[in-house]
């Protein structure tokens, strides 16, 4: 079987996502963006097809699929609406964290509800003073008998105020990453409130706001992973982001592919200088670069997804590489697609400017692309040191 050839099951998964996106997302994406409507009913329709707990275990209600399946799903969804696809990605990341690190009771309580999107989830790591330096977060969780009391503010939280459950990283111990734990907090808990919806460049379909915790009391059972989970929250959050980075990159790829397809069709019909613009050599050169960037992005995504599925030693580096390259390259493809449409690309009705606006934030969230370079560089340096040490040991053996 070729690495690139989908088997029958893989093809059905991708085609199901594409058909759903074409029917339920594409006809409404521009309206949702304009009115800032968050279509919860459409999210739950996606959940009925298994898209809300994609790589959670089947035994607790998940779909039991792989990361390689997920990136194909998100590419297809994002071809219709990158912003809504990205929200489904965030929800899936939260579901995976609970399924992977939660106790049996937590998994049984939450995964079936998350898989159906009866409960919608938000990921709460970033703070006003802790973005890229996430381990410097200030939100605290203090043990008080059989409860924890949470105080702090989370920033830029997708779904804030609408979601039903919040996976919140808070400090239970000393400074640094080992003092952070993860909690599952339900909407409606006294002391939990939300800031006003942020006015954003893109991603208008999903609400984004602060999550404010003022003396929020949760039972000790809300600590993700139970008593043994205390102090492991930062690792949980980072491991969740490995998949989140692939999914958000897949959303960039889907949006850019849609922009590219619109552009090729437009240029085939557009006549200038005595013939179709598609026949102009300079136009073809530009399209060639765009097509190459899309195929390279897809290859990097699939490679990283397979590494994550297989638990390969370099999975973190490969996920960071894919996120960095794909979100940068696909944003440039979308921007070039708008440029090739001329003035029409700047009009809302053509859909190009929405794709550009939605894809811009993908280079910032799930770890900025500058931080991805830090992650990659650290892995490269570590590998070099390990090889040097191994060579030294061999030489002295």
The CATH number that applies at residue 215 is 2.40.110.10
Do 381 and 278 share a domain, yes or no?
A: yes
Residues 211 and 240 in one domain: no
Q: 165-171 and 121-124 as β-strands: parallel, antiparallel, unpaired?
A: parallel
246 and 341 co-located in one domain? yes
pLDDT, residue 272, reads 86
Strands of 6-52, DSSP E: none
DSSP H/E element including 8: helix 8-20
> Which of 57, 90, 120 finishes a domain?
120
Final residue belonging to a domain, choices 231, 258, 285 = 231
Q: Domain limits at 89?
A: 8-120
Q: What does the pLDDT profile of the chain (397 residues) look like in tens digits?
A: 345 788 899 999 999 999 999 999 999 999 999 999 999 999 999 999 999 999 999 999 999 999 999 999 999 999 999 999 999 999 999 999 999 999 999 999 999 999 999 999 999 999 998 888 888 899 999 999 999 999 999 999 999 999 999 999 999 999 989 999 999 999 999 999 999 999 999 999 999 999 999 999 999 999 999 999 999 999 999 999 999 999 999 999 999 999 999 999 999 999 888 888 999 999 999 999 999 999 999 999 999 999 999 999 999 999 999 999 999 999 999 999 999 999 999 999 999 999 999 999 999 999 999 999 999 999 999 989 988 888 888 888 7
Residues contacting residue 248 through CB under 8 Å, at least 6 positions apart = 86, 89, 323, 327, 362, 365, 366
Q: Do 258 and 372 fall into the same domain?
A: yes
Tokens of 273: 């200088």
Q: Is residue 300 part of a domain?
A: yes
Structural tokens at position 388: 């040097």
Q: Which residues contact 387 (CB under 8 A, 6 or more apart)?
A: none
Supply the pLDDT for residue 3.
55
Per-residue confidence (pLDDT) for residue 1, from 0 to 100: 35
Contact by Cβ (8 Å): 61, 19: no
Whether 3 is covered by a domain: the verdict is no
> How many distinct structural domains can be found in the chain?
3
Assess whether 128 and 110 both reside in one domain: no
State the catalytic residues.
366
CB atoms within 10 A of CB 388: 10
> Is there a domain that residue 103 lies in?
yes
Same domain, 207 and 244: no
- Specify whether 165 is located in the same domain as 258: no
Out of 213, 231, 249, a domain closes at 231
In a domain, 96, yes or no: yes
Cα gap 183→174, rounded to integer Å: 17
Integer Cα distance of 301 and 299 in angstroms: 5
Specify if 182 maps to a domain. yes
> Is 387 within a domain?
yes
Residue 1 lies in a domain: no
- 109 and 166 belong to one structural domain: no
SS3 144: strand
Q: Are residues 265 and 126 in the same domain?
A: no
Query: How many Å apart are CA 217 and CA 226, to the nearest integer?
Result: 16
Residues 239 and 342: beta-carbon distance below 8 Å: no
Backbone angle region of 31, left / alpha / beta, with phi > 0 → left and psi within -120 to 50 → alpha: alpha
Give the CATH number for residue 41: 1.10.540.10
Q: What is the DSSP string of 236-297?
A: HHHHHHHHHHHHHHHHHHHHHHHHHHHHHHHHHH-EETTEEGGG-HHHHHHHHHHHHHHHHH
């Amino acid at each position: 079987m070729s690495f690139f050839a989908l088997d029958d099951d893989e093809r059905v998964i991708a085609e199901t996502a594409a058909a759903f996106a074409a029917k339920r997302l594409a006809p409404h994406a521009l309206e949702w963006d304009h009115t800032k409507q968050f279509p919860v009913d459409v999210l739950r329709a996606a959940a009925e097809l298994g898209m809300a707990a994609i790589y959670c275990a089947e035994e607790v209600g998940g779909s039991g699929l792989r990361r390689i399946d997920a990136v194909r799903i998100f590419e297809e969804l994002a071809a219709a609406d990158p912003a809504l696809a990205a929200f489904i990605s965030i929800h899936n990341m939260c579901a995976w964290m609970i399924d992977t690190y939660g106790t049996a009771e937590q998994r049984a309580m939450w995964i079936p509800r998350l898989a159906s999107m009866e409960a919608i989830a938000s990921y709460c790591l970033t703070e006003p003073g802790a973005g890229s330096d996430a381990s410097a977060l200030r939100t605290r969780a203090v043990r008080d008998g059989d409860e924890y009391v949470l105080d702090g503010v989370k920033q830029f939280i997708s779904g804030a105020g609408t979601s039903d459950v919040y996976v919140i990283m808070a400090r239970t111990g000393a400074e640094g990453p080992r003092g952070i734990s993860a909690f599952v907090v339900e909407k409606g808990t006294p002391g939990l409130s939300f800031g006003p919806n942020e006015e954003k460049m893109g991603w208008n379909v999903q609400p984004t706001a602060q999550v404010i915790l003022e003396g929020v009391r949760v039972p000790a059972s809300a600590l993700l992973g139970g008593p043994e989970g205390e102090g492991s929250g930062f690792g949980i959050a980072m491991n969740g982001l490995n998949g989140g980075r692939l999914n958000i990159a897949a959303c960039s790829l889907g949006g850019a592919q849609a922009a590219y397809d619109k552009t090729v069709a437009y240029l085939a019909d557009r006549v200038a200088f005595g013939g179709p613009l598609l026949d102009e050599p300079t136009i073809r050169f530009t399209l060639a670069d765009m097509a190459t960037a899309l195929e390279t992005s897809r290859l990097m995504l699939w490679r990283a997804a397979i590494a994550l599925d297989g638990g390969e030693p370099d999975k973190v580096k490969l996920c960071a590489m894919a996120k960095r390259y794909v979100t940068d390259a696909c944003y440039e493809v979308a921007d070039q697609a708008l440029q090739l449409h001329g003035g029409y690309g700047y009009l809302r009705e053509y859909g190009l400017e929405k794709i550009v606006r939605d894809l811009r934030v993908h280079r910032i969230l799930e770890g900025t692309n500058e931080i991805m370079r830090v992650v990659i560089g650290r892995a490269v340096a570590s590998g070099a040191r390990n090889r040097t040490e191994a060579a030294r040991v061999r030489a002295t053996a």
